[in-house]
Amino acid sequence: MALVELDRVSKVYRLGVFGGKKLRAVHEVSFAVEEGQVFALIGESGSGKTTIGRLILRTLPVTSGRLLFRGADIASFAGKQLRDYYRRVQGVFQDPYSSFNPIFKADRVFAVVRHQFFPRMGEKDWSDRVQKTLRGVGLDPREVLGKYPHQLSGGQLQRFLIARALLLDVEFLVADEIISMLDATTRVEVLNLLADLTQEQGLSILFITHDMALGYYISGKVVILYRGCAVEQGDVAKVFNNPIHPYTTMLMASVPRLDRKWEEGELRLKGQEAAYAQGCAFYERCPFPYQACRDAAPHLVEVEDEHFVACQQAASVRR
């Protein structure tokens, strides 16, 4: 049984004064994250990556489909069951500074966790738990406790937030662009920390990023999203080494390389972004669309073991 599973999950926002307009943010996305696995969501801004993270964290309701945790639909969780869910599923986000109130010391976030989840734990036991967790994410408690957010670096604050999640019995972490605001050296340190937590503690991670290289570096499975649709997914090595969907190819070509000029690797796509209610969301940007692409949305098909593509041309490359 998967730890977290999305079964044809969709999210539609109602827009306008009377909610007469609709925006399809996520459309029938399905994937499963196993225990101890790093699973990457990759796509441009507006692809639905963050929305999926928020759906898993239940800060947004699912419009249709099912989102399961250990086989149970999280939409049914309430009271103690919901509290228990949040002890096991937590999120860390892009801007570490926005997660702290600048007028309070940074470790106040730990006090909130204690109040909500460990109200009966004694002072010494709690202090030992905090210090052990901080050391587990590479922080010296003597250097960070009692400090205000502006006295800590972005990397220290991000580790602080990871520690906050680990204070609980966390099994699944939604990591939404958590290193995009960090410098290069700190990025590697945080990535390696996540890898260590996966290997040593069995932590499962949904790694949300727009960066193809980062997704390849840290994950074992990947979903490529475009305008809320999963266009390609599966084993990360197979998707990256044999990209089939034109959007995946575009993303791969957009990764800068030191051995050639930018123009040599850039894939130029025609048209403007548009989404068809019945057809392929990528139709207007696709360099080789079929008429069928405009009339009907493609479904994921398996082109090789653990490699799925939602594209009309996928049938011609199926192995």
The 3-state secondary structure of the chain, one letter per residue: CCCEEEEEEEEEEEECCCCCEEEEEEEEEEEEECCCCEEEEECCCCCCHHHHHHHHCCCCCCCEEEEEECCEEHHHCCHHHHHHHHHHEEEECCCHHHHCCCCCCCCHHHHHHHHHHCCCCCHHHHHHHHHHHHHHCCCCHHHHCCCCHHHCCHHHHHHHHHHHHHCCCCCEEEEECCCCCCCHHHHHHHHHHHHHHHHHHCCEEEEEECCHHHHHHHCCEEEEEECCEEEEEEEHHHHHHCCCCHHHHHHHHCCCCCCCCHHHHCCCCCCCCCCCCCCCCCHHHCCCCCHHHHHCCCCCEEEECCEEECCCCHHHHCC
Average pLDDT, the chain: 86
- Residue pair 244/317 in contact by the 8 Å Cβ criterion: yes
- Where residue 35 sits, what CATH number does that domain have? 3.40.50.300
Higher pLDDT, 32 or 185: 32
| 11 and 58, same domain (yes or no) | yes
Number of folded domains that form the chain? 2
What's the pLDDT score for residue 16?
A: 72
Q: What is the mean pLDDT of residues 296-302?
A: 87
State both tokens at 289.
């669309």
State both tokens at 94.
């892009």
Q: What is the mean pLDDT of residues 2-20?
A: 87
| 212 and 268, same domain (yes or no) | no
Handedness of CA 198, 58, 212, 319 (dihedral sign): positive
- Cα 213–chain centre separation: 15
Last residue of a domain, one of 188, 215, 241: 241
| 298 and 284, same domain (yes or no) | yes
How sure is the predictor about 270, in pLDDT bands with cuts at 50, 70 and 90? very low
| 136 and 98, same domain (yes or no) | yes
Measured distance CA(204)–CA(195) in Å, rounded:
10
What's the pLDDT score for residue 232?
A: 96
Question: CA 21, 24, 29: angle at the middle one, nearest 5?
Answer: 160
Last residue of a domain, one of 223, 241, 259: 241
| 250 and 109, same domain (yes or no) | no
| 259 and 201, same domain (yes or no) | no
Range with the largest mean pLDDT of 51-55, 103-107, 161-165: 51-55
Domain limits for position 317:
243-319
Q: What does residue 233 show for φ and ψ, rounded to 5 degrees?
A: -160, 160
| 20 and 68, same domain (yes or no) | yes
| 103 and 232, same domain (yes or no) | yes
What's the pLDDT score for residue 259?
A: 59
pLDDT at 288 over 90: no
199-234 core/surface letters (b: 16 or more CB in 10 A; e: else): eeeebbbbbbbbbbebbbbbbebbbbbbbbbbbbbb
175-198 pLDDT tens trace: 999 888 777 777 888 888 888 889
Does the pTM of the predicted model rise above 0.85? Answer: yes
| Nearest alpha-carbon partner for 205 in 46, 225, 193, 234 | 193
- Of the CA atoms within 13 Å of residue 273, those in its CB half-sphere come to 7
Q: What is the mean pLDDT of residues 73-80?
A: 94
Lowest mean pLDDT among 207-221, 245-259, 279-293: 245-259
Last residue of a domain, one of 241, 261, 280: 241
Task: Find the distance separating the first CA and the last CA of the chain, reported in whole Å.
Answer: 28
pLDDT at 6 over 70: yes
| 224 and 247, same domain (yes or no) | no
96-119 pLDDT tens trace: 788 888 999 998 889 989 998 998
| 179 and 227, same domain (yes or no) | yes
State both tokens at 200.
């040593």
- Residue pair 255/249 in contact by the 8 Å Cβ criterion: no
| 56 and 105, same domain (yes or no) | yes
| 149 and 253, same domain (yes or no) | no
